[in-house]
Structure 1
Amino acid sequence: RAGWRRAAHGLHRVEGAARTRRRVLVSVERAETEIDPVTRDALLTFAIVGAGPTGVELAGIIAELARKTLPREFRNIDTRKAKVVLIEAGPRVLSSFAEELSAYAQQALEKLGVEVHLGEFVTDCTAAGVKVGEKFIASKTIVWAAGVQASPAAKWLNSPADRAGRAIVEKDLSAPGLPKVFVIGDTASVVQNNGKPVPGIAPAAKQQGAYVAKVIRARLQAKPAPGPFRYWHQGSLATIGKSAAIIDFGKIKLKGWIAWWIWGIAHIYFLIGTRSRFAVAWSWLWIYLSGQHSARLITQKETMREEN
């Protein structure tokens, strides 16, 4: 909905993530000088819709930021009293993980002070807050971490689409009737042999990209095409906060600080370039040891644009 899109911040692009970070920091800065207690509470309430890996990680980050990093930097407000609300329509957080890991994640969030609302649907979303069922939560910062509409590639190609708007593709990931056009990533609707859809995540998109490259190379070299695309699930990882994460490798399931370290190593490993890996590793190590998040700068130009 257009109104919801204006009120809630999305995270499906890097720009959206940066804008959300600025919004969180700007809200805290405004709360410092706000004299109306109702408005101040709304500024210090952060509503996150969707308890998938993105929503859970964001809720944990904001909670840790408010309770452990920012308190010493403000005089008129106690950021430890900030409210982080995580709203999920399903029966549990991180529903793609095993139930025991999902339960651990919820406990870790609640330990950080996050309010977890399960089985509740968002019925309205405005600049003043979010309506959950018949209950209204006043919040100046709403982040949409639930599902988003797929790109309109299916419409461009005039090809069939699933309920989410993703283009239904052939077994070689080409568009129906268009063998020279390939659709991959979360724009494509790919069904595995077990009948389950391929998840719209980066590892799946990377595998699809590598597969399409093989198909194109085979065609250019007049060689037999590779078999149908098959997705290899390498495991699921999610972080909740400092020293708290969960990992599901099928038969192997981990949680706690061991999972958190593995999660960090895995993310650093997949970065491009040794310099990037070293820089991120050093930054994360500093944050872990000092508890200080380095990215807290707000420029005047960005602040004004956020408010307008």
Structure 2
Amino acid sequence: MEKDFRRFDPAASRVILVQSGPRLLPTFAEDLSQRTRQALETLGVEVLVESRVESIDDSGVMVNGKRIAARTVLWAAGVVASPAAAWLGAEADAAGRVKVGPDLSVRGLPGVFAIGDTALANAWNGTPVPGLAPAAKQGGAYVARVIRARVEGRPAPSAFQYQHLGSLATIGRKAAVADFGFVKLHGGLAWWLWGALHLGFLVGLRNRVSVMLDWFWAYLTYRSGTRLITGGGGSQKTGQRHAAARARAAPMRATAHPGGSAARPAVP
């Protein structure tokens, strides 16, 4: 924080993580959740579990009836699916995910398929498939087989079943957790494994080398190799665009559903 925000005094700053559930990373093993909390607290993060955000305004938040002054609020309490269900006129769940059949086709539209976090498929041992990249890749490969079988007049493959290969989440520098069911890792080893797997899943050697060099530079210098700079000086039109963007964002912030926020498992 000291290098990234020169006008901030880290000693005078507070970072508070609010989680509505009883522990962080609830999809991971309980011991890994505990290690995640310990790692964050070692970094100086205050972790509040079984707590809910009740309201947010320009000067802070209300958590379990207590006001916490805050200048910056980051909201990470889940995702909303794409509006595909609306323009398809398809049945959806509360999060907007399109309900699909065993072959991932949209109900009532057998020639239309939905995969990834746009779809609600109970294909993970009878439970909904998580909205993660591996699930989308598996779904895409399965749908390709279904379409090919239809084109060639062959029997369709059996119902889609998601194969969960494991979960990984980074916590900080040389700190991560990995849960593969039979193998659980934490600390530096899990962090290096997370990086290696993510590089392996990138498309093309050039992308892998570029990202690897960027990460290596960030590791050596404690600085990110890529930055997105917004605001500051610029033309009048640029300022007007930023003002319009803030105006559009304001209602969204005001209507955010109260609830806890937690890190989402990062899976390659």
Task: Give the TM-score taking structure 1 as reference length.
Answer: 0.72
Q: Structure 1 stretch 191-200 or stretch 151-160: which is displaced more? A: 151-160
Query: Aligned pairs, how many?
Result: 239
| Cα root mean square deviation, aligned | 2.1
- Alignment of 1:175 with 2:106, yes or no, is yes
Q: Which has the higher helix share?
A: 1
1:287 maps to amino acid: A
1:284 counterpart SS class:
helix
Which structure 2 residues correspond to residues 285-300 of structure 1 after superposition, within 5 A? 285-296=216-227, 298-299=229-230, 300=232
- 1:132 equivalent to 2:132? Answer no
Alpha carbons 1:239, 1:263 under 8 Å: kept = yes
Q: Distance in 2 between matches of 1:193 and 1:251?
A: 18
How much has 1:301 moved relative to structure 2? 5.6
2:199 to 258, 268, 286: 268
Amino acid aligned to 1:288: Y
Query: Which stretches in structure 1 are left out of the alignment for 5+ residues?
Result: 1-65
Q: Say if 2:95 is the partner of 1:161.
A: no
Name the SS for the 1:85 alignment partner: strand
Choose between structure 1 and 2 for higher RCO, CA contacts under 8 A separated by at least 6 residues: 2
- CA 1:221–1:260: 2 relative to 1, 3 Å: same
1:203 aligns with 2:203: no
Matches of residues 1-308 of structure 1 in structure 2 within 5 Å?
66-67=1-2, 69-70=3-4, 74=6, 77-192=8-123, 194-296=125-227, 298-299=229-230, 300=232, 304=239, 305=242, 308=246
How far residue 78 of structure 1 moved from its aligned partner, in angstroms, is 1.7
Residues 197-233 of structure 1, C-alpha deviation per residue, up to 9 Å, x if partnerless? 1101111011101111111111111121111111111
Q: Secondary structure at the match of 2:207?
A: helix
Q: Could you tell me whether the CA contact under 8 Å between 1:70 and 1:79 is conserved in 2?
A: no
**Contact 1:124-1:131 within 8 A present in 2 as well:** yes
Assess, with a 3 A threshold, how the Cα gap between structure 1 residues 168 and 81 changes in structure 2: closer, same or farther: same
Following the alignment from structure 2 to structure 1, what is the Cα–Cα distance between the partners of residues 225 and 209?
16
Aligned to 2:74, the other structure's residue is in SS state strand
Percent identity between matched residues is 52
| SS of equivalent to 1:233 | coil
Runs of 4+ off more than 6 Å: none
Instruction: Tell me: CA distance 1:193–1:206, structure 2 relative to 1, closer, same or farther (3 Å).
Output: closer
Deviations 1:144-177 (A, max 9, x none): 2111222332333333222333221100000112
Separation in 2, partners of 1:144, 1:301? 27
Q: Which position in structure 2 is the counterpart of 1:63?
A: none
1:224-245 deviation digits (Å, cap 9, x = unpaired)? 1111111111100000001100
* Deviations, residues 127-151 of structure 1 (Å, cap 9, x unaligned): 3322212122222322221112223
**Cα distance in 1 between the residues matched to 2:40 and 2:8:** 23
Once the two structures are superposed, residues 254-306 of structure 1 have per-residue CA deviations (whole angstroms, 9 ceiling, x without a partner) of 00100000000011111122111111111111221222223346353689527
Which deviates more, 121-130 or 235-244? 121-130
